Structure 1
Amino acid sequence: MHPNPHFRSGDAAALDAVARSIGFGMIFLTTPDGPRVAHTPLLLDDDGTIRFHLARANAVTPHLDGARALACINGPDAYVSARWYASPGEVPTWNYVALEYEGPVRRLDDAGLMAVLHDIATREENRVASGGRPWSMDTVAAPVLRGMMRAIAGFALTVEDRRETVKLAQHKSPGEVARLASGVEAEGRHAMARLMREGLPA
């Protein structure tokens, strides 16, 4: 993670809120075949557990149970042009939010896997803005569901260590931050511009 202490939030609740709002990340693991990463929807529970599922054929899956892994979640990011600064002599940079959660992983039983699938679908269906009745697992025929369950595996990572970089130009003056946020917004990076102006959600 970035070594500059300016880019450490220290607000675990706000960081977890960002992780939950994104809901998707990467699981990193060193395997006998070398370093591997799996991309997956993630559930960050109140008890400090990250639940997720992977295809059984994923290169990470056979090595996860009992291993120590790293879950990474990327938030908004944006290139910051040096031309947007009021004073000369600045250099370009990249603003970004990156969250890391590290800990031991255990494999879930079938009931735990079903709960992961249900909870992810419920969370995301409640976010769908198009209206209509939310989709439900109950609409899937039992043989289809059984086949799907045989092809995937569920896991839970117990978070023992957290690290973050929240790089929003907060080490610059308020006027400079405002100028940079305007430049970022003009490039279509609205989420980053909002974070630069307002900080992490409370």
Structure 2
Amino acid sequence: MGHAYDESYAARNQADLVALIEGNPLAWVVSGKAEALMHSPLPLRCGYAADGRLSHLLGHLALRNPLAARLREDPMAAAFFLGPQAYVSASWLDDRTQAPTWNYCAAAFQLKVELHDAPGAIRDELSALVAQMEAGRPKAWQLEEMEGRYAHLARHVVAFRAQIVSVHSTFKLGQDERPGDYAQIAEGLGRSQEASLLHWMRRFEARDEEP
């Protein structure tokens, strides 16, 4: 079984990371050490430098969330994304000497967070998140539909911009499987209705090509 620090499973390029984040925007954001550790699930968005490089993550959180006060004291944090994942049963394989494993997509970002209390920054972030999550939906909802309720909501949240300090990703998707075993694993996942994970496996299946 592979592990999270095996570089053979790293993202091939920025597009893999962006697809993981956009498809699974709810991340665990963690700050602090040992007994002082604080954590919260938060929806995050990709932010880009002028040259198109993924350079930061954007989001918001409730002021009553203890993580907000912690980030004002210490801006360093981490964000953990877990994408599609599933158990891979050895029962699917003709070769019964093989062991079970787990296929998954994940990424861990080390961040330096800046909180932004300005009403314009908060509205921009909430509007952008809503636009991203509502895109393509029938009768897509817009922030303006809240009317007067928005002002009450906005007083209780803070926006943030988190500079990416480093990133470690793992896309363990059968890259090291023998072709016959890979085909049987894909068939087994298909029977288990793991369509999202199969999509990622096929994305990586052209192992020497860009997606």
What does 1:27-176 align with in structure 2 at a 5 Å threshold? 27-30=29-32, 34-47=36-49, 48-65=55-72, 66-108=74-116, 109-128=118-137, 131-132=138-139, 134-142=140-148, 144-176=149-181
For residues 172 and 25 of structure 1, do their structure 2 counterparts lie closer, same or farther at Cα, with a shift above 3 Å needed? same
Q: Distance in 1 between matches of 2:25 and 2:43?
A: 6
Structure 1 residue 14 displacement after superposition = 2.2
Q: Which has the higher contact order (CA 8 A, sep 6+)?
A: 1
For residues 176 and 32 of structure 1, do their structure 2 counterparts lie closer, same or farther at Cα, with a shift above 3 Å needed? closer
Q: Report the secondary structure of 1:39's partner residue.
A: strand
Report if the CA contact (8 A) 1:101-1:163 is conserved.
yes
Q: Report the secondary structure of 1:159's partner residue.
A: strand
Structure 1 residue 53 displacement after superposition = 1.0
Range with bigger deviation, 9-18 or 60-69: 9-18
Q: Distance in 1 between matches of 2:159 and 2:6?
A: 36
Structure 1 residue 97 displacement after superposition = 0.3
Q: Percent identity?
A: 22
**Cα RMSD (Å):** 2.0
Please give the per-residue CA displacement for 1:54-77, whole angstroms capped at 9, x wherever unaligned.
111112111113511111111100
What TM-score do you get using the length of structure 2 for normalisation? 0.86
Range with bigger deviation, 66-75 or 4-13: 4-13
For residues 123 and 92 of structure 1, do their structure 2 counterparts lie closer, same or farther at Cα, with a shift above 3 Å needed? same
What TM-score do you get using the length of structure 1 for normalisation? 0.89
Q: What residue is the counterpart of 1:22 in the other structure?
A: 24
Structure 1 residue 154 displacement after superposition = 1.2
Number of positions where the alignment pairs a residue of Structure 1 with one of Structure 2: 198
